[in-house]
A and B are shown apart, each in its own frame.
Chain A
Amino acid sequence: MKTIHVTATVNGDTVEYLCDPRETLLDVLRDRLNLTGAKEGCGTGDCGACSVTVDGRLVCSCLILGVEAEGKTITTVEGMADGETLHPLQKKFIEYAALQCGICTPGILVAAKSLLEKNPDPTETEVRYWLAGNLCRCTGYDKIIRAVLDTAADMREAS
């Protein structure tokens, strides 16, 4: 199988990789770039555990081919913290214990960050609909929703 050379920007760094055209962006991130934050839950775009942004747009990395990333700017959960300083959402998720097993958490953090960038003052309903594509089988969602709403309030106050 012929591999294809791809150049992309991941979390601010230029990366190059060779990939099989059948590989998904999720495969590339995890197995070629060793960024294992994005998780494979379902592999069919239902669970959101593989959420990343591509050119600023929230997507499931399992539903994008690795070769489609040519020239694109990708951010993953690994790009959220600033060195040792966690993103406000990450801090708030710890404070609220908005996770248990943690498999869904990277995807939810990336999705919630994307929401707050578009809408700094979402209603609870807007948060719940935005995150409807991120499944969590542990928390019952309530702590996640409260953590996102409280982070949004803090970030509005800080700005």
Chain B
Amino acid sequence: MQYHSPNTFEDAAALAVAAAGVTRFLAGGTDVLVQLRADIITPDTVIDIKNIPGVRDITRHDDGSWTLGVATSGAEMREHVELGLDWPGVVEAMDLIGSTQVQGRATLVGNLCNGSPAADSVPAMVTAGVEFSVTNSEGTRRVAVMDIPAGPGRTHLAQGDVISAVHIPARGARGGDAYLRFIPRTEMDIAVVGCAINLALDAAGVITQASVSLGAVAPTVLRLDEAAEALIGCTLDEATLDKLATAASAACNPISDKRGTIEFRTHVAGVLAKRTAKIAYARAQGVTK
């Protein structure tokens, strides 16, 4: 196994292009090292991107948008008070991953690129409208979250593509997001269903923008445009919540496994969508944080 620790993303991309066999970029390593130790994936080349300047910076721009370095850990996100006030759903989704020790290392980009359909942070990034800078030998382009997952353990990124920054939009007025997941215990487990919702309201409390996403109920994360449309123009009354739940359950395409059956996942998706919407709505109203 070759270990490289480049100082720029361009060098990291060039190393990946030149590498033969299996290549892994190393940020937090909480999936890469587990796969290495368990003999699931033994990389021929590991490219550690943590010595590139700025990879752990959390920056809020003048327009209210955010840029996060790709090696920013969950713990660093949680400790950033302003980020948590703007994007509580993104921060709480990341914070649900693993133990305190895992939070000290794990990253949003790692969670995405590991390719698990149950990745907790990915639905929250979808509803937040997160984009990534992807650097390769031809330059750097912007890619939306939805365009990266290809299936369990797979992404649409090519050899030589390296994600070089995380961009979160400005929160804007009267907006709020939330993420909930179902697990059979209280901590440290993999989502049976995960649901993220991001809302924006007008001054009267009517929903003007909505985004709904589900994890762990299909081979890749789902963005539920019909469910989102059901919310727009409404306050969060019971009839709207019922429509949301029906749309969420209808969108599911899950498998049965030891964590939950198809029927259970489909039902829970609707229940979680309602609960998540209530939290996001209260946050958008400024009632809760």
Contact = CB atoms under 8 A, between A and B. Distances in A.
B73 interface: yes
A21 B104 contact: no
Interface stretch (A53-61, A83-91, A148-156): A53-61
B99 A57 contact: no
B260 interface: no
B3 A59 contact: no
B143 interface: no
A133 B102 contact: yes
Nearest to A61: B101
A120 interface: no
Nearest to B187: A132
Interface centre among B50, B73, B99 (most CB of A within 10 A): B99
B168 to A, nearest CB: 23
B34 A64 contact: no
A62 interface: yes
Contact of A63 (B3, B29, B187): B29
B33 A24 contact: yes
B71 to A, nearest CB: 11
B1 A132 contact: no
A136 B73 CA distance: 26
Nearest to B76: A57
Interface string B86-129: 00000000000011111011000000000000000000000000
Contacts of A1: 1
A96 B13 CA distance: 54
A37 interface: no
Interface stretch (A9-17, A41-49, A98-106): A41-49
A130 B104 CA distance: 12
Given A63-B33, A65-B48, A133-B99, 13 more contacts: A4-B3, A21-B2, A22-B1, A24-B33, A57-B75, A58-B101, A58-B104, A59-B101, A63-B29, A63-B101, A65-B3, A65-B26, A70-B5
Interface of A: 1, 4, 21-22, 24, 43-46, 48, 51, 54, 57-60, 62-65, 67-68, 70, 111, 114-115, 129-134
17 contacts: A24-B37, A45-B30, A45-B98, A45-B99, A46-B99, A60-B101, A63-B101, A65-B3, A65-B29, A65-B46, A65-B48, A67-B48, A68-B29, A111-B101, A129-B187, A130-B100, A132-B100
